[in-house]
């Protein structure tokens, strides 16, 4: 008898694991995985100023290659539970749809890779056909993500765990199940440019130095294109999101003006090279006549891309066999724990259809859970085949 991803999803949905609460979700997985023969490790990570968070690492097999499935059991709050058609932590099925907070993002994804792993083990006498199968599960993805995957990977590396390839089960599809594999993400870098002038009465131009003139010059210069895009990415973008002189007075020229910007950048740049490029452009535009400074915010969101190759082909083939759709490789959207995993092994994101994630009445078609389990099962078979 094959494992039932719908039953596992329902069990997980009934665990109210709003970050930072464990809610019983990891305890449940612990139980299921131990029964299947996995060595399961639970660890709590903490840091001053943040809530301690529970995490789980499970592995079956000791050999390489080690194929890892990654995910998070924590969910965003349901909001007003009365606005839901079915209670957000009840796991009710209605009209072929399973309702609950986390159904899509991403308890459904976890249930599908657990079911696929159990089926693979059952078909091979209780062990992977070769190599190892592992699960990296965190309870800290939806919030600040400091006591989750980043520390879990570090913990695993310290005990000598090696990962060869990873599938992160986040909801990756856009319009139809099977249409998108996420194979990288843009980097993100935020900064502020501050222009210094001299305050004065607006009627006496010889007595003030208006920083707004300098700021508009620099804003214009910094909005020039950063690149033409690359094989995997659309062009980088620098967008100003705020301009502020803090001046409520009509006849006063302010002493300082500042503008805040966000850059979403692609694989032509690193954070350092991008800062150098921006500062060079500002220097050219200022021509020694504008006094200014940059204030860069620290960022842990570097650009990365998982290049097309055998692993990507294998995943795409598994998806096409189940869905009849050839998935596209995408690098759009916000950030995810893939930004941490990519430092340890190539990582692809493939999961459910993302349309109701974080929404009221988050729900997944039961048939889609069955299909995703079939995709994961094929990925495992091809990987160890
Ligand atoms: Zn998620």
CA distance 351 to 311: 16
| pTM assigned to the model | 0.86
Q: How far is the CA of 72 from the centre of ligand 1 (A)?
A: 7
Q: How far is the CA of 163 from the centre of ligand 1 (A)?
A: 21
Contacts of 5 (CB under 8 A, 6+ apart): 108, 111, 112, 114, 115, 116, 369, 370, 372, 373
Count of other CB atoms within 10 angstroms of residue 278: 22
Report the pLDDT value the prediction gives residue 104, as an integer from 0 to 100: 98
The β-bridge relationship of strands 291-296 and 363-365 is: unpaired
CA-wise closest residue to 177 among 372, 3, 29, 32: 372
Report the pLDDT value the prediction gives residue 1, as an integer from 0 to 100: 73
Q: How far is the CA of 171 from the centre of ligand 1 (A)?
A: 7
pLDDT band at 332 (very low <50, low <70, confident <90, very high): confident
Tell me if 215 sits within 8 A of 195, measured CB to CB. yes
Report the pLDDT value the prediction gives residue 335, as an integer from 0 to 100: 78
74 is catalytic: yes
CA distance 353 to 350: 9
How does pLDDT run across 4-32, given as a tens digit for each residue? Answer: 999 999 999 999 999 999 999 999 999 99
Residue 330 has pLDDT above 80, yes or no: yes
CA distance 314 to 383: 8
Neighbours of ion ligand 1 (CB under 5 A): 105-106, 170
Tell me if 269 sits within 8 A of 277, measured CB to CB. yes
Sheet order of strands, 237-244 included: 237-244, 256-265, 187-196, 291-296
175 is catalytic: no
Tell me if 53 sits within 8 A of 149, measured CB to CB. no
Tell me if 103 sits within 8 A of 11, measured CB to CB. no
Q: How far is the CA of 141 from the centre of ligand 1 (A)?
A: 7
Report the pLDDT value the prediction gives residue 189, as an integer from 0 to 100: 94
How does pLDDT run across 58-70, given as a tens digit for each residue? Answer: 999 999 999 999 9
Tell me if 348 sits within 8 A of 182, measured CB to CB. yes
Residue 334 has pLDDT above 80, yes or no: no
Q: How far is the CA of 75 from the centre of ligand 1 (A)?
A: 8
From the list 119, 140, 141, 256, the catalytic residue is: 141
Tell me if 376 sits within 8 A of 113, measured CB to CB. yes
Q: How far is the CA of 295 from the centre of ligand 1 (A)?
A: 31
How does pLDDT run across 91-109, given as a tens digit for each residue? Answer: 999 999 999 999 999 999 9
Residue 225 has pLDDT above 80, yes or no: yes
From the list 11, 22, 54, 74, the catalytic residue is: 74
CA distance 302 to 284: 27
Q: How far is the CA of 23 from the centre of ligand 1 (A)?
A: 17
CA distance 195 to 190: 17
Q: How far is the CA of 47 from the centre of ligand 1 (A)?
A: 22
């Amino acid at each position: 008898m094959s494992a039932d991803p719908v039953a596992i999803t329902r069990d997980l949905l009934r665990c109210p694991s709003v970050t930072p609460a464990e809610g019983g979700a990891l305890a449940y997985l612990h139980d299921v995985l131990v029964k299947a023969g996995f060595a399961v490790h639970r660890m709590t990570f903490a840091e001053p100023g943040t809530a301690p968070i529970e995490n789980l690492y499970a592995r079956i097999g000791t050999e390489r290659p080690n194929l890892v499935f990654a995910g998070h059991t924590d969910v965003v709050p349901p909001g007003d539970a009365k606005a839901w058609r079915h209670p957000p932590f009840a796991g009710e099925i209605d009209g072929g749809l399973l309702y609950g907070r986390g159904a899509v993002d991403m308890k459904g994804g976890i249930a599908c890779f657990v079911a696929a792993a159990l089926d693979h083990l059952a078909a091979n006498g209780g062990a992977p056909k070769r190599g190892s199968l592992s699960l990296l599960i965190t309870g800290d993805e939806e919030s600040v993500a400091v006591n989750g995957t980043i520390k879990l990977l570090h913990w695993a590396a310290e005990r000598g765990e090696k990962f060869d390839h990873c599938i992160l089960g986040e909801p990756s599809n856009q319009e139809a199940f099977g249409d998108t594999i996420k194979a990288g993400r843009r980097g993100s870098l935020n900064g502020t440019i501050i222009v210094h002038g001299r305050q004065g009465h607006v009627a006496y131009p010889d007595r003030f130095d208006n920083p707004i003139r300098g700021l508009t010059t620099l804003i214009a210069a910094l909005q020039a294109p950063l690149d033409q895009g690359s094989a995997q990415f659309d062009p980088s973008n620098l967008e100003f999101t705020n301009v502020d002189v803090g001046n409520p007075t009509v006849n006063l020229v302010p002493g300082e003006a500042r503008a805040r910007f966000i850059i979403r950048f692609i694989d032509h740049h690193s954070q350092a090279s991008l800062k150098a490029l921006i500062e060079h452009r500002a220097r050219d535009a200022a021509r020694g006549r504008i006094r200014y400074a940059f204030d860069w915010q620290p960022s842990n969101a570097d650009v990365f891309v998982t290049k097309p190759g055998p692993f990507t082909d294998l995943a795409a083939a598994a998806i096409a066999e189940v869905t009849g759709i050839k998935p596209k490789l995408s690098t759009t959207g916000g950030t995810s724990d893939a930004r941490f995993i990519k430092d340890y092994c190539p990582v692809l994101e493939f999961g459910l259809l993302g349309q109701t994630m974080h929404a009221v009445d988050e729900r997944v078609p039961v048939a889609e859970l069955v299909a995703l389990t079939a995709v994961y099962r094929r990925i495992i078979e091809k990987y160890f085949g």
